[in-house]
A and B are shown apart, each in its own frame.
Chain A
Amino acid sequence: MILSDLVERFGHHPLGIGQEIGRMVTTPGLDNPPLNITEKELTRGLRYVAVEAPSGIRGRMGVLGPLVEQAEAAIVVKNADYAFGCSGCARANIQLIYMLRRKKIPTLEIEYPKTREEAKVMVKRVVDFLRGLGGTNG
């Protein structure tokens, strides 16, 4: 949420998982899923990870992979709390960072702040990065 808000605040469009999930769970169809993943996403996930990868990662990559393809720049926040998610989330996260590095788009790597000073540095780095990319407020 913090990153998505900061990106929007400084005139860029964040590619968040929320909008993808929203599209999936509110679009009526035969495969209207009980949750948010259908066979289509699992198959699409194979474009990004091997077939041996656990289905949790494949499903996540089926949703997140196309977002990486659309991305023109990326901000990676490291050192997330344990509440970030399960092991599937963590592994999919590693795969995403790998994809971002291979894509060679402008990427900023920061950490979650723990003190006021760290927060000032974090926000300053994000703002400078976003302004460097251009945009409506940049």
Chain B
Amino acid sequence: MREKRDVVRIFVISPDSDLTPELLYRYMVNQKMNLKMKETCFGLIVVGDEKSLAEALHEVKKLDKYGIFSKVRGYPPGDPRICRASRGGGPRMGFHFLEYEFSVLPLIREGLESVERGEEVRERHVEERVSVKEVEKAFREVEL
């Protein structure tokens, strides 16, 4: 068993960011870090040891603090067990959910910026559901 295992992370760029996966890739290459990278449609998949990845995360957040999100991913890039090339096409597992979360990222940026500004936010009062008995009572009241 290997003592030190490489970790895989995905860096996802928010759709409202000025960055593109290509720009981010070039920036990372210029940082001369000991990482393997794959450019994808939503950002980058980065492989490396935990320390280098933490450094990389710190670096990319300088570009767009609230526009780059990341998480640990299980499979390394190009793994034949999930790679579309070897599975005969179709989206890879988890893609649809990633796509959904990708669309929510601009809203999360708004939220993070509002926290940074120390904005007061008020939770909207959610009206409780009306019970069946109350509806029946209301009908009886208007009955002619």
Identity of the chain A residue whose Cβ is nearest the Cβ of B10 in the assembled complex: A1
Q: A35 to B107, alpha carbons, bound, how many Å?
A: 34
A21 — nearest CB in chain B belongs to which residue?
A: B74
State whether the Cβ of A104 lies closer than 8 Å to any Cβ in chain B. Answer: no
- Which A residue sits closest to B109, measured CB to CB? A119
B64 is an interface residue with CB less than 8 A from chain A: no
Q: Which residues of B lie under 8 Å from residue A80 when comparing CB positions? A: 97, 100
Does residue B112 face the partner (Cβ distance < 8 Å to A)?
yes
- A20 near B74 with CB under 8 A, answer yes
* From A20, A81, A122, contact of B97 by CB (8 A): A81
Judge whether B62 is part of the interface by a CB distance below 8 angstroms: no
Bound together, the chains give a CA A26 to CA B75 distance in angstroms of: 8
Binary CB contact string for chain A from 32 to 56 against chain B (1 if under 8 A, 0 otherwise): 0011100000000000000000000
Quick one: which of B1, B111, B112 has the most chain A CB within 10 A?
Answer: B111
Q: Is the interface of A mostly helix, strand, loop or mixed?
A: helix
Q: How far is the CB of B44 from chain A (nearest CB, A)?
A: 13
Interface-side segment among B18-26, B28-36, B65-73, B136-144: B65-73
- Chain B interface residue count, CB cutoff 8 Å, equals 38
- List, in ascending order, chain A residues with CB within 8 A of B6's CB: 26
Which residues in B have their C-beta under 8 angstroms from that of A124? 111, 114-115, 121
| Chain A interface residue number, banded | 35 or more
Interface digits, A75-95 against B, CB 8 Å rule (1 contact, 0 not)? 000001101110000000000
> Is B105's CB within 8 Å of the partner chain A?
yes
B123 interface residue per 8 A CB criterion: yes
Establish whether residues A122 and B111, one from each chain, have CB atoms under 8 Å apart when the complex forms. Answer: yes
Q: Which of B98, B104, B105, B124 is most buried by chain A, counting CB atoms within 10 A of its CB?
A: B104
Q: How far is the CA of A65 from the CA of B75 in the complex (A)?
A: 20
| CB-defined contacts of A19 to chain B, threshold 8 Å | 7, 72, 74
Across the two chains, which residue of chain B brings its CB closest to A7? Answer: B71
Partner of A83, one of B73, B76, B99, B112: B99
Q: Is the CB of B105 within 8 A of A22?
A: no
Say whether B12 faces chain A, with CB atoms less than 8 Å apart: yes
Does residue B110 face the partner (Cβ distance < 8 Å to A)? yes
Mask for B95-132, Cβ within 8 A of A = 1, else 0?
Answer: 01111110011011011101100010111100000000
Q: Are B75 and A27 in contact (CB under 8 A)?
A: no
When the two chains form their complex, are residues A120 and B110 in contact, meaning their CB atoms are under 8 A apart? yes
* Residues of A bordering B, CB below 8 Å: 1-2, 4-6, 8-9, 14, 16-29, 34-36, 80-81, 83-85, 112-113, 115-124, 127
B residues touching A (Cβ–Cβ < 8 Å)?
1-2, 5-8, 10, 12, 69-76, 79, 81, 96-101, 104-105, 107-108, 110-112, 114-115, 119, 121-124
